[in-house]
Structure 1
Amino acid sequence: MNAPLAATVPPRLTSLSHGGGCGCKIAPGVLSEILRKAPGMPVPPQLLVGIETADDAAVYQLTDEIALVATTDFFMPIVDDPFQFGRIAATNAISDVYAMGGKPIMALALVGMPVNVLSTEVIGEILAGGQSVCREAGIPIAGGHTIDSVEPIYGLVALGVVHPKRVKRNADARVGDRLVLGKPIGVGVLSAALKKEVLPEAGYARMIATTTKLNTAGPDLAALDGVHALTDVTGFGLAGHLLELARGADLGVRLDWSSVPLIDGVRELATQGSVTGASGRNWEGYCAEVSLPEGFPAAERALLTDPQTSGGLLVSCDAGSVDEVMAVFRRHGFEAAAVIGEVVAAPSGRQRLEVRA
């Protein structure tokens, strides 16, 4: 008598991708080289924000009171639960609208799936996860595009609106500004631990909670006169996005590392070796611009460059507006928000980011 056929077990989503979440990003050094070689294009005066400063989204002025915010973001699975993967990817994409000070109005889905490997039920769960976040943001998924791909890919084109005078670029920081971070860092470390199957259940819950929390504070922050620059911390890590802010304004940044909020448990996991390859690539891409304190541990450096998926908003504001900024974050439920440093005059050498222990 023949033995019964074993039930088909669906593969882990993370096993189908070579990198997950914003850790999939092309390394900053390589990306800079690619963009440097790209041909220039005419820039119409209505394009308020383009590619010049590596900002979070493009902004195009439509009328005296309305500008369109347009962005896209997609990546491979960072978790194995298809519904949560969809939620994380959608939250991450919509964040770029908030980071410009905009209000999301609709989205288009970008879907690439290995249809001979994943069932229609699993793919449907990914899409349902994205739809649930869009409902939370109050926007429809109005269309999209699908392809059959080797690795699972999901994300959104996210569109929003903002008053032209409230657009917050990542390049308008001023000397003396304080830097405020809205979410704790360490998502990349958690994802590495998950892939190694050493992430505790509580750590996984924290990972889902932070990566699916929409950065809804963005428009209210943009409405504050004292807020000069705004961005979100994603694939290039905290150090990378601080450097983008500093380069855009041709200034420097001083980071108080002891003030940076970390997700509970990530320091221990990083010390035990749960770090991403993207963290190392990030460091190689911009280490010449960073000054570290003597004896700065390797695990701490990995956290400094840790790629964040759906990371927090990074605000540059004048010192007198810090209380207002913190109040906005608290009102939107970002209890871990913290002042982490300040903007300083442009350095004489290449090292724009000074890290203090």
Structure 2
Amino acid sequence: MTYDLLASGQEGGCSAKLPAKELDKALADLPHITGPELMVDISTHDDAGVYKINEETALIQTTDFFPPVCSDPYEFGQIAAANALSDVYAMGGKVITAMNILEFPADKPMEALKEIIRGGQDKVIESGGYLVGGHTITDKVPKYGLAVSGLVHPDKVITNSNGKPGDVLILTKPIGAGVILAGKKIGEVNQEDYQACLDNMKLLNKEGAEVMQKYGVKCATDVTGFGLIGHAYKLALASEVCLHLNTKDIPLLGGAFELAELGCLPGACFRNQEFVEEFCHFSDEVVYEHKMLIHDAQTSGGLLMCVPKDAVNDILQDLRSSVYPHSAVVGEVKAKGDFLVEVS
């Protein structure tokens, strides 16, 4: 059975987040709720919340869902699930349970709904967790994701607020997914590059979390809807440091740079640029295509790690020999200065 999810009226593209600048304004006056058991709350805009249960166990909680980024229901389910699971891995945790969140058109084939859930279920199984139910409502456009719970030792929680000057930045997956998906919509992407993009989004960050725990990494984030530079900005803000990114070292999905040269840039690139531009500085050497690609919204992107210099080579070797052959050093952490992110 084939069923084009994008025929439901969804335009496609990466996670359709509300503009970050407007969201920050809307939520600015809400009270900050915290407590002694909350190890990570919303104050640092981290990837997930962490609640300390006892001296040996902390609970990680997160959720994410979005409209289709591809036509095939099964692949969409896989991608959406991998994206939602990623926040647990960014905190260094292990997935234990997940629950489906699904909106689906009442007049569309139930077989497509089944395939979405099957894709998500397969990724949860791959994670080592358990799919334990969920909730479904009707809507004109399908939307799918997961609410996820994970576990981590309280002393081994990885956050976005522990970056230290002198750390080296490692990125585990290439970027450019939003540009590739936009190019697919207008027929400018070859099938090989498109499938590589889908496979990249389906790839779990599970092994990345295991590598971080093996080497005692304390600071990381995953790269999703705010783009590489947006998540770098949030990490720098939370850690009170400056992140320096080297655009020529950042791995790109095949075809992404060429599409950017053609001007195939989704709207999220410009919304993310508006969100962070006052906090970032670009050297004159940065070409326009690289500048926009680091603003490109990612779905189920890789991990951006802050790694001690003496562990860089070993971590890169472990990452590249597992499932992240494109892992690369993309910059460094510096002392806080006039800008939170510097790009060269």
In the TM superposition, what are the counterparts of 1:282-321 in structure 2 within 5 Å? 282-294=272-284, 296-321=286-311
User: In structure 1, what is the equivalent of residue 91 of structure 2?
Assistant: 100
In the TM superposition, what are the counterparts of 1:159-308 in structure 2 within 5 Å? 159-224=149-214, 226-294=216-284, 296-308=286-298
Q: CA 1:221/1:32 → structure 2, altered by over 3 Å: closer, same or farther?
A: farther
Q: Is the 8 A contact 1:188 1:307 kept in 2?
A: yes
Q: In structure 2, which of residues 29, 38, 52 is the aligned counterpart of residue 61 of structure 1?
A: 52
Q: Is the 8 A contact 2:104 2:137 kept in 1?
A: yes
Question: What is the distance in 2 between the residues matched to 1:91 and 1:127?
Answer: 12
User: In structure 2, what is the equivalent of residue 21 of structure 1?
Assistant: 14
Question: What is the distance in 2 between the residues matched to 1:233 and 1:166?
Answer: 21
Q: Is the 8 A contact 2:8 2:140 kept in 1?
A: no
1:70 maps to a residue whose letter is Q
Question: What is the distance in 2 between the residues matched to 1:61 and 1:135?
Answer: 25
User: In structure 1, what is the equivalent of residue 137 of structure 2?
Assistant: 147
Greater shift after overlay, 92-101 or 216-225? 216-225
Matched, 1:120 2:110: yes
Q: How far 1:33 sits from its partner (Å)? A: 1.3
Q: How far 1:306 sits from its partner (Å)? A: 0.5
1:191 maps to a residue whose letter is L
Question: What is the distance in 2 between the residues matched to 1:176 and 1:226?
Answer: 16
Q: CA 1:211/1:11 → structure 2, altered by over 3 Å: closer, same or farther?
A: closer
RMSD: 1.6
Residue segments in structure 1 that go unaligned for 5+ positions in a row: 1-8
SS of corresponding position for 1:157 = strand
User: In structure 2, what is the equivalent of residue 355 of structure 1?
Assistant: 343
Question: What is the distance in 2 between the residues matched to 1:322 and 1:60?
Answer: 30
SS of corresponding position for 2:112 = helix
User: In structure 2, what is the equivalent of residue 40 of structure 1?
Assistant: 32
Q: Is the 8 A contact 1:13 1:82 kept in 2?
A: no
In the TM superposition, what are the counterparts of 1:68-87 in structure 2 within 5 Å? 68-87=59-78
TM-score normalised by L of structure 2: 0.95
Residue segments in structure 2 that go unaligned for 5+ positions in a row: none
User: In structure 1, what is the equivalent of residue 318 of structure 2?
Assistant: 328
Cα distance per residue 1:78-102 (max 9 Å; x no partner): 0011110000000001011110000
Greater shift after overlay, 334-343 or 221-230? 221-230
2:52 maps to a residue whose letter is Q
Q: How far 1:292 sits from its partner (Å)? A: 1.1
Q: Is the 8 A contact 2:77 2:116 kept in 1?
A: yes
Cα distance per residue 1:21-54 (max 9 Å; x no partner): 32x011221122123122322x121111110111
Q: How far 1:201 sits from its partner (Å)? A: 0.6
Q: How far 1:330 sits from its partner (Å)? A: 2.4
Q: Is the 8 A contact 1:28 1:286 kept in 2?
A: no
Cα distance per residue 1:305-350 (max 9 Å; x no partner): 0001000011001111112321331243211000110011111x3x
Identity of aligned residues (%): 39
Q: Is the 8 A contact 2:14 2:177 kept in 1?
A: no
Question: What is the distance in 1 between the residues matched to 2:41 and 2:28?
Answer: 15
Q: CA 1:242/1:66 → structure 2, altered by over 3 Å: closer, same or farther?
A: same
Cα distance per residue 1:193-213 (max 9 Å; x no partner): 112232211011111110000
Q: Is the 8 A contact 1:217 1:328 kept in 2?
A: no
Q: Is the 8 A contact 1:14 1:20 kept in 2?
A: no
Cα distance per residue 1:114-162 (max 9 Å; x no partner): 112x211111111111111112112221010011112210000111110
SS of corresponding position for 2:276 = helix
**Number of matched pairs:** 343
1:113 maps to a residue whose letter is F
1:203 maps to a residue whose letter is D
